[in-house]
Amino acid sequence: MTSLLTITILTMICATSLYVTSQNGNATTQTTSWQQALSGAEAAVDQAINALNTNNTTTWSQWYTITSGSLPQTQPTPSGTPNATGMPGTGNYNYYTSSFTLQGEASNSVTMWVTVDNGSVGPTPSPSPGLIQNGRQAYRIRATGVVAAPGPPRVSNQKLDNDLRKMSLRFDRLGGGAISTPQAARRIEVIVTPVTPGLFSLGLEVGTNLQMSGSGTADSFKSSLVPGNHQWSLPYRRSNVSIGLVDNSSSDLRSTYVYGNVTYSSSATPPKVPKNTTNVGSVQSPFGGSIAPAPTPPTGVTYTTYTGGGSSPPNSGQFSVPTNGGTEYIKVNGDLTVSNSGNPLHIIQHDGSTQESMIIWVTGKLTTSGSGYINQDPNVKVTYYVGGDITISGTSYQNNAGYAADLVIYGMGGANSKVTVSGSSTFTGAIDAPGYDVTISGGGDFSGAIIADTVTISGGSSFHYDEDLNTASLGGGGSFAFSSWFEDNSDPARGITY
């Protein structure tokens, strides 16, 4: 009897020990699954930030662009091949999914999916104006990590176990449907803003005064999405143009249709507000940006020099890149004036298969007048550094590839220097002239981006911001960093949403 009683007691102790050990094991593996799900969500955030920072077709090639009025609560199942080519625009989001395997105490597989939008995809109003912080475009990243949780759904037999636990493994918490295998799902939402915004991350960045005509428009597009000559065309219109007024004095938009946002600051008391903004997507304050001085020409390189000042361009009207994929440095001492159509300035590429570069430093004025014009070959990126006034027209500067990023003009002159862009054709390029007064007139369009002290758009001219200017090659569209981070603990299946 003593032996039987002893055996019985030992058996009960062993059973209890095994039961407790089993519960502890389940708790450990399921807690590990909970942490692995968070790691999966954070890995998805890393994927999104990498895509935003590099922002090219390669990094977005595995993403889908989905047009929707709201962000998904459950994992989307888009059809076809991934189709994203860049950052998401108004009313759509980019979507990506992936999985990876690992070794550990819990599940050996983690699934993650993530969405990126600019804040214009729900909630109401939809589309919302979007996320603009300090005058810069911010993005919202929502990432979900899902991991199978080994073991029974309940860790113990305590009847309040499911209510007391931080999560329930009896159903898909974020999907709201019953599942056959318990799993841990965690979702985080991150707002990211550019720490070092691109030089042309705004369409118009104006120091004090913006005057618009009221008859034209201001909008955006991505030149890389437009076939042929990659200038703006109506089917490719987007609503992502951002206008920043650093210290607004008396800006008047005259009810011009602006497909995007205006952000302003004013040091006056009371603050001066831009006038006639009825047709602007949104008007916000304050603008947190500032206009930096224009960069100076490169040093430590060898320039081919010419004497300027005449009515014909130097070198018999030709500047050539001598080597495939190389960079040519040219300096014009004085004014560079092109006024004769019979002797245009032709910027010639060496080999059309590889992009080449040309730096042209003009110590005086850059002028095209009369019937003169500058003809820039495709696949040549030209950067001007100009010390004086700049006078050109859409007709007189032929940027034949149609990419604004291929023509960048830096105005190094001081206060009261002028940029005049006139004519009935489209000028395609980017102008960074912080101390200049810029005038766009003649009914032609400006396609690209402008940084200046004042900008006047008259005569029915329109402005089209090329979003492809916001790239690493022109000062970066990236260096995005967390502005906010929180975990979404909503539970749609139990009616708990955020």
For Cα atoms 59, 63, 67, give the angle at the middle one, nearest 5 degrees.
Answer: 135
- Local structure of 467: helix, strand or coil: helix
**pLDDT of the residue at 444:** 81
Query: Distance (Å, rounded) from C-alpha 188 to C-alpha 409?
Result: 42
Cα distance from N-terminal residue to C-terminal residue, the chain: 64
Taking all residues of the chain, what is their mean pLDDT, rounded to a whole number? 81
**pLDDT of the residue at 26:** 61
User: What is the percentage of the chain residues whose pLDDT exceeds 90?
Assistant: 31
Q: Partners of 190 in the beta sheet?
A: 141, 485
pLDDT in tens, 62-96: 999 998 878 888 888 888 899 887 788 777 899 99
- Name the band, by pLDDT with cuts 50, 70 and 90, for residue 478: low
pLDDT greater than 50 at residue 477: no
Query: Distance (Å, rounded) from C-alpha 235 to C-alpha 453?
Result: 32
pLDDT in tens, 261-282: 999 999 898 899 999 999 999 8
E runs forming strands in 8-107: 64-67, 92-101
Among 197-206, 383-392, 465-474, the range scoring the smallest mean pLDDT is: 465-474
**pLDDT of the residue at 25:** 58
**pLDDT of the residue at 90:** 73
Highest mean predicted confidence (pLDDT) among 223-227, 337-341, 473-477: 223-227
**pLDDT of the residue at 126:** 42
**pLDDT of the residue at 193:** 82
CA distances from 86 to 79, 95, 136, 167, 261 (A): 19, 12, 17, 36, 20
Could you state, in order of their start, the residue ranges of all structural domains in the chain? 25-196+480-494, 204-474
pLDDT in tens, 375-402: 888 888 899 999 999 999 768 898 988 8
pLDDT greater than 70 at residue 163: no
DSSP H or E segment with residue 111: strand 109-117
DSSP state, 57?
A: T
- Name the band, by pLDDT with cuts 50, 70 and 90, for residue 418: very high
**pLDDT of the residue at 122:** 73
pLDDT in tens, 327-347: 889 999 999 988 877 678 888
